[in-house]
Amino acid sequence: MTSADLSYVRTEMLGPQPAPSRARGFGAWLRANLFASPMDTVLTLLGLFLIVWFVPNMLRWAFIDAVWSGPDRTVCATVSQGGVQPDGWSGACWAFVNAKFAQFMYGRYTYSERWRVDLTAIMFVLLLVPLLIPRVPYKALNALLLFVVFPIVAFFLLVGGYFGLRYVPTSEWGGLLVTIVLSVVGIAVSLPLGIVLALGRRSKMPAIKMICVIFIELVRGVPLVTVLFMASVMLPLFMPAGMTFDRFLRALVGVALFASAYMAEVVRGGLQAIPKGQYEGADSLGLSYWQKMCLIILPQALKLVIPGIVNSFISLFKDTSLVYIIGMFDLLGIVRQNFTDAAWASPQTPMSGLIFAGAVFWIFCFGMSRYSIWMERRLDTGYRR
Partner 1 sequence: MASTEVLRADTSARVSWKNDPRIRGIIFQVLVVVILAAAVYWIWGNTVDNLRRANISSGFGFLDRRSGFDVSQSLIQYTADSSFRSALIVGLLNTILVAVCGIITATIIGFLVGVGRLSGNWLIAKICTVYVEVFRNIPPLLVIFFWYLGVLSVLPGPRDSLELPFSSYLNNRGFFLPKAIWEESAWLIPAALVVGIVVAFILNRWAYRRQMQTGQPFPRLATSLGLIIGLPLLVTLLLGIPVSFEFPQKGTFNLSGGFQVKPEFLSLYLALSFYTASFIAEIVRAGILGVNRGQTEASYALGLRSGLTLRLVVIPQAMRIIIPPLTSQYLNLTKNSSLAVFVGYPDLVQIGQTTMNQTGQAIEVVAIWMVIYLGLSLSTAAFMNWFNAKMALVER
Q: How far apart are the first and last CA of the chain?
A: 51
Residue 104 binds partner 1, judged by CB under 8 A: no
Residue 314 binds partner 1, judged by CB under 8 A: yes
Residue 332 binds partner 1, judged by CB under 8 A: yes
Q: Which is nearer to partner 1, 123 or 325 (CB)?
A: 325
Residue 328 binds partner 1, judged by CB under 8 A: no
Residue 160 binds partner 1, judged by CB under 8 A: no
Are 263 and 312 in contact, with CB atoms under 8 Å apart? yes
Of the candidate spans 3-11, 13-21, 147-155, 211-219, the one that interacts with partner 1 by CB under 8 A turns out to be 211-219
Residue from 23, 234, 285, 343 in contact with partner 1 (CB under 8 A) = 234
Give the separation between CA 366 and CA 289, rounded to whole angstroms: 39
Q: How far is the CB of 369 from partner 1 (least distance, A)?
A: 7
Q: What does residue 78 show for φ and ψ, rounded to 5 degrees?
A: -80, 170
Of the candidate spans 3-11, 32-40, 182-190, 291-299, the one that interacts with partner 1 by CB under 8 A turns out to be 32-40
Are 93 and 117 in contact, with CB atoms under 8 Å apart? no
Rg (CA), the chain: 29
Q: How many CB atoms lie within 10 A of CB 2?
A: 5
Residue 221 binds partner 1, judged by CB under 8 A: yes
Residue 52 binds partner 1, judged by CB under 8 A: no
Are 68 and 98 in contact, with CB atoms under 8 Å apart? yes
Q: Which residues contact 15 (CB under 8 A, 6 or more apart)?
A: none
Residue from 52, 58, 141, 218 in contact with partner 1 (CB under 8 A) = 218
Residue 61 binds partner 1, judged by CB under 8 A: no
Residue from 274, 354, 375, 379 in contact with partner 1 (CB under 8 A) = 354
Site track for partner 1 across 277-306, x = CB under 8 A: ------------------------------
Alpha-carbon separation of residue 208 from 93, 171, 211, 385 (angstroms): 56, 38, 5, 40
Residue from 27, 151, 223, 327 in contact with partner 1 (CB under 8 A) = 223
Q: How far is the CB of 145 from partner 1 (least distance, A)?
A: 29
Amino acid at 117: V
Complete DSSP assignment for 313-378: HHHHHHHGGGGGGGT--BHHHHHHHHTT-TTT--TTHHHHHHHHHHHHHHHHHHHHHHHHHHHHHH
Give the separation between CA 82 and CA 32, rounded to whole angstroms: 54
Residue from 18, 20, 38, 240 in contact with partner 1 (CB under 8 A) = 240
Applying CB under 8 A, the residues found at the interface with partner 1 are 32-34, 36, 40, 43-44, 47-48, 50-51, 204-208, 211, 217-218, 220-226, 229-230, 233-234, 236-241, 314, 318-319, 321-322, 324-325, 332, 336, 339, 347, 350-351, 354-355, 357-358, 361-362, 365-366, 369
